[in-house]
């Protein structure tokens, strides 16, 4: 467009010309701008279309993982040990949380949280990186869940969820068998290359024992839900759902009835009971008590509970079956006899016991004056003098070799996170460990299972099973369709017969464990008692009125009570080992427990009646007694505050003589 | 032809081609507002339509006003709007909160909005009064600079960077068109580059953030860069033909903030794609081309300058808003006139168009007798 040139003043004319020129420049600039805008838009919507389409989709669609239901753990008859319960839970998503104090206040009111729980949530919120949901409460009633859901719009960051929680019907009785599950922590998350499943609300992983080691079989495959959400996270519609695949069922060799019975039979004692099938090595029961409640642990425990556990001198956090190391005491004697026989010592050769045995200027004591006896009677009466004397003839090498063959010092191929396998001392070991020569008193101490000998309860049960069956069985915990035939034990069968006969008479003739006789017709129990000393008895104590009785000592100073056995004596099927820490005489505590547990296998009714009487005396079932104890417990001045329950001693299967429970040697 | 028509001459005379584009733009905007409300006339499309009808009537009424009358009210109007700006500032000071508008009951009036056309008129009037010989002298510059500077400063402290910028740019364009020496503008651009850095330090924190994030929107997609990022996603994901009417996810799922006001172009582009966007740009280009034509045909200095300035105001609205939503300019809060929901910008644009039509009417009548 051209401006009409008219005829005004000259200056005005030039000014019009300037205006026209400049207006055209302006118009041109505006045209350029329009072109540039058009080009920019074309760039965005054609060239960058793919990128922005993706971004728009990722805005719109949110994929939500559905945590898979965890596989069940069942016993040998497919009875449940660990199952899942449907429940309602609430988590906090730190990333979306605004005004944490206000929201926590509202939750406290709605869900009736205790101050203890609020403190735990606050602490976890501080530690939580934005990705990790912080559990607020689980196992909510539907009423509370519904009340919360209604108020959700005003509670950003609060995530209520219908999910599944792990449930262990037998509670504390199976704690050290199954372990427990828990919310994955930062280390777990990073160990799995930041697997998004691990931060899905409500998802739990195995934290200990079988739950931990068998995680790969139990976990399952997560499902996925694709949903359309608004910018504020409000669900618009579900697009598609891929359901989860539950984890596989894990069958164990455990007989859950027997296992719980064993756990209950331990009462308030600190100890463990192991029962093996002596022909296959299958573990039928492996109770360790006291224990924590895995249901409570899986939901997340309070500081108070943790402090109570940590302060308990009976170590409820430790699986004593595989992590407790004890001197074997006299339960080593059947094995010792096998070593003697192998060395060619005549079982009829006699030793005279006068209650004390002198080597050089040291005196070794026996608890009685047994008089003159041979091997059979020495086992039956548990005469230390016989073993002191004969072990010196046999020498430490054959003894150590036999102990190894019986499973002492052995680490079994089992899916457990920690095994402490103890010590079988011999001259080389002594040199390597303490840089000194093996002395005669070392052999003498070893002959009655004291000194440097340390075993765990599972090894004791294995020894019993091997002696009973004559087969080199090893403990198994996961049930399989076929079990490889165990090899024959590299021990002369006739020697085994001699020892088995002596063990039968320990219980059934004039032996130390008459109390352990089975109340079942036609079934004889064979066994051996043991009393492991944990303190040094000085000459001064002996001179001033004799050895102090266990009752007069502090609990920690009392002897451990042990018993190993198998039944039926003539055709062994079951092997059993019982250790009751600081329980006193083997015959007084461990042997009756073994009797009752094995009775359960032959006559359930009788066994249950015996237990009922005992539990009445103790004041109720395990959970009742635990609840009462928790109520009474008063925290010490300075409670410890770890982030999560953890084994206090996680030293890998090492178990040399650095065991804190290692007792001082007997009299030197 | 006109005299024989059944349509009254006053109506028939109107520049209907231009108005057709304006109605098209607004109509398209109503469709987008309808979609943005989730397929409902309320709360946006219907009030917007009513408002447009009223303002269109107003614009047509203004087109009947003689240019001389406009010339006469230029300075008084400037004075009144300047007073209103001070009043807003004072009310904000008393009320202890920044406020940009005065409540008129039926709508909130933003004096800064009114200042956009009024400053154009006032400066056109000033250069009209200025003898041509004075144009290259200091006397041409300082009064214009003062007329521009005072309201711009008042708007800047509101704080409303976008409007202040528009007012200043409108004034500078007026000076440019009036014929001030070119070297002033070249020098000014150089100076602005240097001063920009200094001015940056005087900006409010949130304004500074906007500028910084604008330089790199991806740096803070959840925070201040969120608007730009989401807007570009909406436009880019629309592709050539768009996701379809009522099918935009960015707007309907509320990922796009201000989807019915400042970012309505993104809402539109998501559903109508590049085609829809180009239609709007082309329609505006026609309106602006018409405006420049009116300016070029102006019969006197005031008409020429006022027409060019008024159409430039509309251009700035459109250009700044589109640059903003496409990630070429920081988020400064300038709506897309006629399309964005809201009365103030529409009122300004319709006032501008009304006055342009008045100039156009005078042009076609052989208008002013005096140069």
Per-residue pLDDT of A184-232, as tens digits, reads 888 888 888 888 888 887 788 999 999 999 999 999 898 888 878 777 7
Whether B274 and A46 lie within 8 Å, measured CB to CB: yes
Which pLDDT does position A2 carry in this prediction? 46
The answer as to whether B90 is a domain residue is yes
Which pLDDT does position A393 carry in this prediction? 93
Q: Which residues contact A374 (CB under 8 A, 6 or more apart)?
A: A347, A348, A349, A350, A351
Residues of chain B positioned with their CB less than 8 A from the CB of A48: 232, 236
Whether B328 has its CB under 8 Å from any CB of chain A: the answer is: yes
Residues of chain A positioned with their CB less than 8 A from the CB of B323: 37
Whether B308 and A23 lie within 8 Å, measured CB to CB: yes
Q: Which of A446 and B220 is assigned the larger pLDDT?
A: A446
pLDDT tens digit sequence for A550-600: 777 888 888 899 999 998 999 999 999 999 998 887 678 999 999 999 999
Which pLDDT does position B212 carry in this prediction? 66
Whether B240 and A27 lie within 8 Å, measured CB to CB: no
CA distance A22 to chain B (A): 6
- For the beta carbon of residue A351, count every other beta carbon within 10 angstroms: 19
**With pLDDT > 70 as the criterion, what percentage of chain A qualifies?**
91
Residue B37 CB burial class (10 angstroms; 0-12, 13-18, ≥19) = middle
The answer as to whether B273 is a domain residue is no
Residue B110 half-sphere exposure toward CB, CA atoms < 13 A: 22
Residues 34-73 of B with CB under 8 A from A: none
Whether B253 and A60 lie within 8 Å, measured CB to CB: yes
CA distance A231 to chain B (A): 5
Q: CA torsion angle for B180, B181, B182, B184 (degrees, to 10)?
A: -90
Whether A27 has its CB under 8 Å from any CB of chain B: the answer is: yes
Whether A404 has its CB under 8 Å from any CB of chain B: the answer is: no
Whether B236 and A48 lie within 8 Å, measured CB to CB: yes
**Helix (H) / strand (E) containing A166:** strand A158-167
Say if residue A216 is in the same domain as residue A363. Answer: no
Residue A89 CB burial class (10 angstroms; 0-12, 13-18, ≥19) = buried
Domain limits at A526? 256-301+318-622
Say if residue A246 is in the same domain as residue A268. Answer: no
Say if residue A236 is in the same domain as residue A339. Answer: no
Given B292, B305, B326, which is nearest A41 (Cβ)?
A: B326
Residues 211-230 of A with CB under 8 A from B: 228-230
Which pLDDT does position A651 carry in this prediction? 36
Given A26, A38, A229, which is nearest B281 (Cβ)?
A: A38
Structural contact between residues A67 and A163, judged by C-beta atoms closer than 8 angstroms: yes
Residue B366 CB burial class (10 angstroms; 0-12, 13-18, ≥19) = exposed
Say if residue A277 is in the same domain as residue A237. Answer: no
- Residue A92: pLDDT band with limits 50, 70, 90: confident
CA distance B184 to chain A (A): 14
Whether B328 and A18 lie within 8 Å, measured CB to CB: no
Given B135, B235, B254, which is nearest A41 (Cβ)?
A: B235
Given A2, A27, A37, which is nearest B292 (Cβ)?
A: A27
Residue A6 CB burial class (10 angstroms; 0-12, 13-18, ≥19) = exposed
**Helix (H) / strand (E) containing B307:** helix B301-325
Say if residue A277 is in the same domain as residue A227. Answer: no
- Beta-bridged to residue A63, according to DSSP, are A226
Span of A549-563, B42-56, B195-209, B308-322 with lowest mean pLDDT: B195-209
Interface size, chain A vs chain B, as Cβ–Cβ contacts under 8 Å: 141
**Helix (H) / strand (E) containing A61:** strand A61-66
Whether A59 and B292 lie within 8 Å, measured CB to CB: no
The residue in chain B having the minimum alpha-carbon distance to the alpha carbon of residue A237 is B253
Structural contact between residues A476 and A415, judged by C-beta atoms closer than 8 angstroms: no
Given B253, B295, B328, which is nearest A236 (Cβ)?
A: B253
Whether A45 has its CB under 8 Å from any CB of chain B: the answer is: yes
pLDDT score of A646 more than 50: no
Residues 132-151 of B with CB under 8 A from A: 132-133, 135
Which pLDDT does position A201 carry in this prediction? 75
Whether B233 has its CB under 8 Å from any CB of chain A: the answer is: yes
Span of A212-216, A457-461, B136-140, B171-175 with lowest mean pLDDT: B136-140
Say if residue A198 is in the same domain as residue A282. Answer: no
Q: CA B113 to CA B345: how far, in whole Å? A: 7
The residue in chain B having the minimum alpha-carbon distance to the alpha carbon of residue A46 is B239
Whether B253 and A229 lie within 8 Å, measured CB to CB: yes
Say if residue A200 is in the same domain as residue A348. Answer: no
Which pLDDT does position B218 carry in this prediction? 55
Q: Which residues contact A381 (CB under 8 A, 6 or more apart)?
A: A368, A370, A373, A510, A511, A512
Q: How many domains does chain B have?
A: 1
CA distance B83 to chain A (A): 31
Which pLDDT does position B99 carry in this prediction? 66
Which pLDDT does position A404 carry in this prediction? 95
Whether B237 and A232 lie within 8 Å, measured CB to CB: no
Given A12, A41, A236, which is nearest B277 (Cβ)?
A: A41
Q: CA A303 to CA A157: how far, in whole Å? A: 25
Residue A171 half-sphere exposure toward CB, CA atoms < 13 A: 14
The answer as to whether A261 is a domain residue is yes
Structural contact between residues A527 and A594, judged by C-beta atoms closer than 8 angstroms: yes
Distances (CA, A) of B306 to A144, A215, B69, B121, B291: 69, 80, 13, 6, 10
Residues of chain B positioned with their CB less than 8 A from the CB of A6: 371
Which pLDDT does position A664 carry in this prediction? 34
Q: Which of A135 and B54 is assigned the larger pLDDT?
A: B54
Which pair of tokens denotes residue A639? 């409670």
What does chain A come to in residues?
Answer: 668
Which pair of tokens denotes residue A519? 């109340």
CA distance B234 to chain A (A): 7
Structural contact between residues A563 and A580, judged by C-beta atoms closer than 8 angstroms: no
The answer as to whether B261 is a domain residue is no
Among B306, B299, B303, smallest CA distance to B365 is for B299
Whether B237 and A49 lie within 8 Å, measured CB to CB: yes
Say if residue A169 is in the same domain as residue A290. Answer: no
The answer as to whether A219 is a domain residue is yes
Say if residue A418 is in the same domain as residue A351. Answer: yes
Span of A6-20, A385-399, A598-612, B57-71 with lowest mean pLDDT: A6-20
- For the beta carbon of residue A96, count every other beta carbon within 10 angstroms: 13
Which pLDDT does position A650 carry in this prediction? 36
pLDDT score of B206 more than 80: no
The answer as to whether A631 is a domain residue is no
Q: Choose from B130, B131, B296, B299 for mutation: most chain A CBs within 10 A.
A: B296
- Average the pLDDT over A134-159 and give the result: 82
Please say which residue of A251, A275, A293 terminates a domain. A251
Whether A30 and B323 lie within 8 Å, measured CB to CB: no
Which pLDDT does position B249 carry in this prediction? 84
Which pLDDT does position B217 carry in this prediction? 57
Q: Which of B330 and B321 is assigned the larger pLDDT?
A: B321
Pairing of strands A61-66, A73-74: unpaired
Given B178, B253, B371, which is nearest A12 (Cβ)?
A: B371
Q: What interface predicted TM-score (ipTM) does this complex get?
A: 0.89
Structural contact between residues B20 and B39, judged by C-beta atoms closer than 8 angstroms: no
Span of A2-16, B239-253, B322-336 with lowest mean pLDDT: A2-16
The answer as to whether B104 is a domain residue is yes
How far from each other are the two terminal CA atoms of chain A, in whole angstroms? 123
Distance of CA B342 to the CA centre of its chain: 13
Mean pLDDT of chain A: 85
Domain limits at B88? 67-203
Residues 182-211 of A with CB under 8 A from B: none
Residue carrying the six token digits 């379809």: B244
Residues of chain B positioned with their CB less than 8 A from the CB of A231: 253-255
Whether B328 and A40 lie within 8 Å, measured CB to CB: yes
- CATH code at position A581: 3.40.710.10
Which pair of tokens denotes residue A556? 């920690």
Span of A16-25, A90-99, A342-351 with lowest mean pLDDT: A90-99
Among B3, B74, B2, B48, smallest CA distance to B264 is for B48
Span of A123-132, A275-284, B122-131 with lowest mean pLDDT: A123-132
The answer as to whether A410 is a domain residue is yes
- Average the pLDDT over B286-315 and give the result: 93
Which pLDDT does position A281 carry in this prediction? 93
Say if residue A182 is in the same domain as residue A276. Answer: no
- Beta-bridged to residue B80, according to DSSP, are none
Which pLDDT does position A130 carry in this prediction? 56
Which pLDDT does position A659 carry in this prediction? 36
Q: How many domains does chain A have?
A: 2
CA distance B309 to chain A (A): 10
Residues 188-227 of B with CB under 8 A from A: none
Which pair of tokens denotes residue A580? 């009751």
Q: CA A583 to CA A530: how far, in whole Å? A: 11
The answer as to whether A26 is a domain residue is no
Residue carrying the six token digits 């451990």: A560
Which pair of tokens denotes residue A233? 């996270």
Q: CA B351 to CA B117: how far, in whole Å? A: 8
The answer as to whether B311 is a domain residue is no
pLDDT score of B223 more than 80: no
Q: Which of A12 and A417 is assigned the larger pLDDT?
A: A417
Whether B315 has its CB under 8 Å from any CB of chain A: the answer is: yes
Say if residue A281 is in the same domain as residue A236. Answer: no
Whether B274 and A42 lie within 8 Å, measured CB to CB: yes
pLDDT score of B1 more than 80: no
- Residue A610: pLDDT band with limits 50, 70, 90: very high
Compute the C-alpha angle A565/A570/A573, nearest 5°.
55
The answer as to whether B323 is a domain residue is no
Whether pTM > 0.90 for this model: the answer is no
The answer as to whether A163 is a domain residue is yes
Whether B240 has its CB under 8 Å from any CB of chain A: the answer is: yes
- CATH code at position A114: 3.90.1310.10
Residues of chain B positioned with their CB less than 8 A from the CB of A52: 232-237
The answer as to whether B30 is a domain residue is no
Which pLDDT does position B93 carry in this prediction? 62
Structural contact between residues A636 and A311, judged by C-beta atoms closer than 8 angstroms: yes
Say if residue A293 is in the same domain as residue A160. Answer: no
Whether A33 has its CB under 8 Å from any CB of chain B: the answer is: yes
**Buried b / exposed e across A22-48, counting CB within 10 Å, b at 16+?**
bbeebbeebeebbeebbebbeebbeeb
Pairing of strands A205-206, A351-353: unpaired
Q: Which of A488 and A299 is assigned the larger pLDDT?
A: A488
pLDDT score of B4 more than 70: no
The residue in chain B having the minimum alpha-carbon distance to the alpha carbon of residue A30 is B315
Q: Is A449 left (phi over 0), alpha (psi -120 to 50) or beta?
A: left
Q: Which residues contact A135 (CB under 8 A, 6 or more apart)?
A: A89, A90, A91, A124, A183, A299, A300
Q: CA B97 to CA B109: how far, in whole Å? A: 17
Q: CA B34 to CA A460: how far, in whole Å? A: 82
Whether A130 has its CB under 8 Å from any CB of chain B: the answer is: no
Which pLDDT does position A657 carry in this prediction? 34
Q: CA A390 to CA A382: how far, in whole Å? A: 14
**With pLDDT > 70 as the criterion, what percentage of chain B qualifies?**
90
């Amino acid at each position: 467009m051209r401006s009409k040139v008219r005829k005004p003043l000259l200056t005005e004319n030039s000014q019009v010309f300037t205006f026209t020129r400049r207006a055209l420049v302006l118009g041109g600039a505006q045209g350029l701008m329009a072109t540039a805008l058009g080009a920019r838009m074309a760039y965005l919507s054609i060239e960058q279309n793919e990128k922005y389409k993706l971004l728009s989709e990722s805005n719109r669609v949110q994929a939500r993982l559905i945590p898979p239901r965890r596989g069940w753990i069942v016993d040998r008859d497919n009875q449940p040990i660990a199952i899942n319960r449907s429940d309602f839970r609430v988590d906090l998503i730190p990333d979306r949380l605004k005004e944490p104090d206000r929201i926590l206040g509202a939750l406290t009111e709605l869900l009736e949280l205790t101050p203890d729980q609020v403190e735990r949530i606050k602490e976890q919120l501080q530690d939580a990186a934005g990705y990790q949901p912080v559990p607020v409460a689980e196992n909510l009633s539907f009423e509370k869940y519904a009340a919360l859901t209604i108020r959700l719009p005003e509670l950003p960051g609060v995530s209520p969820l219908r999910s599944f929680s792990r449930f262990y019907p037998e509670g504390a009785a199976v704690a050290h068998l199954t372990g427990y599950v828990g919310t994955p922590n930062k280390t777990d998350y990073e160990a799995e290359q930041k697997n998004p499943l691990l931060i899905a609300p409500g998802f739990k992983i195995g934290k200990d024992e079988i739950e931990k080691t068998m995680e790969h079989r139990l976990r399952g495959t997560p499902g996925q839900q694709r949903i359309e959400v608004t910018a504020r996270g409000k669900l618009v519609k579900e697009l598609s759902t891929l359901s989860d695949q539950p984890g596989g069922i894990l069958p164990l060799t455990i007989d859950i009835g027997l296992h719980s019975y064993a756990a209950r039979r331990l009462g308030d004692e600190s100890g463990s009971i192991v029962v093996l099938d002596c022909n296959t090595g299958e573990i039928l029961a492996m109770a360790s008590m006291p224990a924590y409640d895995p249901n409570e642990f899986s939901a997340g425990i309070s500081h108070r509970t943790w402090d109570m556990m940590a302060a308990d001198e009976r170590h409820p956090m430790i699986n004593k079956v595989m992590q407790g190391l004890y001197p074997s005491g006299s339960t080593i004697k059947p094995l010792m006899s096998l070593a003697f026989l192998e060395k060619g010592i005549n079982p009829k050769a006699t030793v005279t016991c006068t209650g004390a045995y002198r080597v050089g200027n040291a005196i070794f004591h026996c608890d009685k004056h047994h008089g003159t006896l041979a091997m059979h009677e020495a086992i039956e009466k548990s005469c230390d003098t016989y073993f002191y004397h004969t072990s010196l003839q046999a020498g430490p090498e054959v003894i150590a070799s036999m102990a190894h063959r019986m499973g002492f010092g052995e680490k079994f191929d089992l899916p457990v996170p920690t095994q402490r396998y103890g010590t079988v001392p011999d001259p080389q070991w002594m040199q390597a460990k303490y840089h000194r020569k093996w002395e005669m008193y070392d052999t003498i101490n070893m002959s009655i299972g004291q000194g440097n000998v340390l075993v765990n309860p599972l090894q004791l049960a294995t020894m019993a099973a091997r002696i009973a069956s004559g087969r080199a069985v090893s403990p198994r915990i996961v049930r399989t369709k076929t079990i490889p035939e165990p090899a024959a034990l590299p021990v002369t069968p006739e020697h085994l017969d001699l020892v088995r006969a002596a063990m039968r008479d320990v219980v059934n003739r004039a032996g130390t464990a008459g109390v352990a006789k089975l109340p079942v017709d036609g079934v004889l129990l064979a066994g051996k008692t043991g009393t492991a000393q944990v303190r040094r008895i000085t000459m001064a104590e002996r001179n001033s009125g004799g050895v102090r009785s266990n009752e007069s000592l502090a609990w920690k100073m009392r002897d451990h009570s042990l018993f190993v056995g198998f039944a039926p004596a003539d055709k062994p099927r079951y092997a059993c080992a019982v250790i009751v820490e600081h329980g006193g005489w083997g015959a007084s505590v461990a042997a009756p427990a073994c009797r009752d547990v094995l009775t359960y296998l032959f006559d359930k009714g009788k066994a249950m009646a015996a237990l009922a009487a005992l539990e009445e005396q103790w004041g109720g079932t395990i959970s009742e007694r635990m609840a009462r104890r928790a109520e009474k417990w008063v925290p010490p001045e300075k409670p410890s505050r770890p982030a999560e329950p953890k084994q206090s001693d996680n030293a890998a299967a090492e178990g040399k003589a650095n065991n804190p429970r290692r007792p001082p040697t007997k009299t030197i | 032809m006109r005299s024989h028509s059944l349509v009254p001459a006053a109506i028939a005379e109107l520049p209907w081609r231009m108005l057709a584009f304006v109605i098209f733009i607004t109509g398209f905007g109503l469709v987008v507002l309808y979609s943005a409300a989730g397929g409902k006339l309320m709360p946006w499309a219907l009030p917007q339509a009513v408002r447009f009808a009223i303002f269109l009537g107003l614009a047509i009424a203004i087109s009947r006003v003689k240019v001389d009358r406009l010339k006469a009210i230029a300075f008084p109007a400037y004075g009144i709007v300047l007073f209103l700006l001070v009043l807003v500032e004072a009310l904000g000071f008393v009320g202890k909160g920044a406020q940009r508008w005065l409540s008129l009951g039926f709508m909130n009036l933003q004096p800064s909005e009114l200042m956009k056309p009024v400053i154009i008129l006032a400066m056109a009037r000033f250069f009209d009064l200025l003898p041509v010989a004075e144009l290259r002298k200091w006397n041409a510059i300082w009064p214009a600079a003062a007329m521009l500077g005072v309201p711009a400063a008042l708007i800047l402290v509101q704080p409303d960077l976008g409007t202040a910028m528009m007012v200043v740019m409108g004034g500078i364009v007026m000076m440019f068109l009036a014929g001030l020496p070119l070297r002033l503008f070249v020098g000014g651009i150089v100076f602005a580059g240097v001063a920009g850095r200094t001015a940056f330090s005087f900006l409010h924190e949130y304004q500074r953030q906007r500028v910084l994030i604008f330089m790199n929107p991806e740096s803070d997609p959840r925070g201040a860069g969120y608007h730009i990022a989401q807007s570009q996603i909406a436009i880019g994901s629309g592709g050539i033909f768009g996701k379809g009417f009522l099918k935009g996810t960015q707007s309907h799922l509320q990922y796009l903030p201000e989807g019915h006001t400042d970012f309505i172009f993104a809402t539109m582009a998501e559903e109508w794609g590049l085609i829809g966007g180009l239609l709007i740009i082309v329609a505006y280009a026609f309106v602006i081309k018409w405006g420049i034509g009116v300016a070029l045909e102006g019969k006197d200095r005031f008409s020429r300058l006022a027409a060019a300035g008024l159409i430039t105001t509309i251009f700035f609205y459109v250009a700044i808003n589109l640059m903003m939503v496409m990630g070429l300019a920081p988020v400064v809060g300038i709506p897309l006139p006629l399309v964005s929901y809201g009365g103030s910008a529409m009122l300004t644009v319709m006032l501008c168009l009304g006055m342009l039509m008045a100039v156009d009417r005078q042009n076609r009548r052989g208008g002013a007798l005096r140069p």
